[in-house]
Amino acid sequence: MGTLPASAEEAVARLRREVGDIHQELVRYRLVVWTAGNVSARVPGHDLLVIKPSGVPYEELSPRDMIVCDLDGTVVDGELSPSSDTAAHAYVYRHMPHVGGVVHTHSTYASAWAARGEAVPCVLTAMADEFGAEIPVGPFALIGDDSIGRGIVETLSGHRSPAVLMRSHGVFTIGKDARAAVKAAVMCEDVARTVHIARQLGEPRPLAQADVDRLHDRYQNVYGQPGAAR
């Protein structure tokens, strides 16, 4: 185990609370069952992340349970074992410096697209707003080394979408902080479900690329309260 630098203590304390609490949004939107999803956040200004412990029920998560790891996934502070997906989260933070939050779920509709290895086409204005493109499919990758992290980074680098459907597996989302990544996970399941249902009885009409571009640009720059997280 490493050592938590004194200068990180305040941010870590805050993120233990925030990351612990925001798991409730995964529960509320039914994106997770049992203990199968997880959220992490980068500790700003430090090569550290805060992540959920492995196999602990969401209703029992306390700030104290959250684990602090370095960006190789080694535990620096915390009594429990970190999420078994920690290596993937850490890889993303190492290779995508603008990312401040990562979320992983097996949410039903998104995972169904992932099981077929099929991207969710961008056919709704809400999807153009949030994703700016289709939600892409990443490679099949086994847990245990950097394969999943590499698959996420390679798929999302240069892509507008903050969500990737990892083939035969589930969803990873990224954001400027944990809340933004959770929002992307919620919206990903929402549009994956709506487009699935639309396609059950025919073909959704495509959106013109120019309209997708305009919607995405506007939403990323205008929506919400000035200065607030979207």
36 lines the binding site for a second copy (CB under 8 A): yes
Structure tokens at 17: 């609370």
Of residues 8 and 107, the one with the C-beta less far from a second copy = 107
Name the amino acid, one letter, at 48.
L
Residues whose CB is less than 8 angstroms from the CB of residue 178 and which lie 6 or more positions away in sequence, other chains included: 15, 18, 19, 22, 39, 40, 41, 100, 101, 103
CB of 207 to a second copy, least distance (A): 6
Q: Which of residues 69-108 bind a second copy (CB under 8 A)?
A: 80-81, 84, 106, 108
The reply to whether 187 sits near a second copy by the rule CB under 8 A is yes
Where does 5-157 have alpha helices with state H? Answer: 9-28, 86-95, 108-116, 125-130, 147-156
Q: For tokens 């640009």, what's the residue?
A: 217
Listing DSSP states for 81-124 in one string gives PB-TTHHHHHHHHHH-TT--EEEEE--HHHHHHHHHT-PBP--S
Task: Out of 5, 63, 136, 204, name the contact with a second copy by CB under 8 A.
Answer: 204
Which region holds residue 156: left if phi is over 0, alpha if psi is between -120 and 50, else beta?
A: alpha
Q: Is 38 in the site for a second copy (CB under 8 A)?
A: no
Does residue number 54 form part of the binding site for a second copy (CB under 8 A)?
A: yes
110-149 positions binding a second copy, by CB under 8 A:
111-113, 115-118, 123-126, 140, 142-144
Active site residue 223: yes
Contact residues for a second copy, defined by CB under 8 A? 29, 33-36, 53-56, 80-81, 84, 106, 108-109, 111-113, 115-118, 123-126, 140, 142-144, 167-170, 183, 186-187, 190, 193-205, 207, 211, 214-215, 218, 222-226, 228, 230
Residues that are catalytic: 104, 106, 129, 169, 223
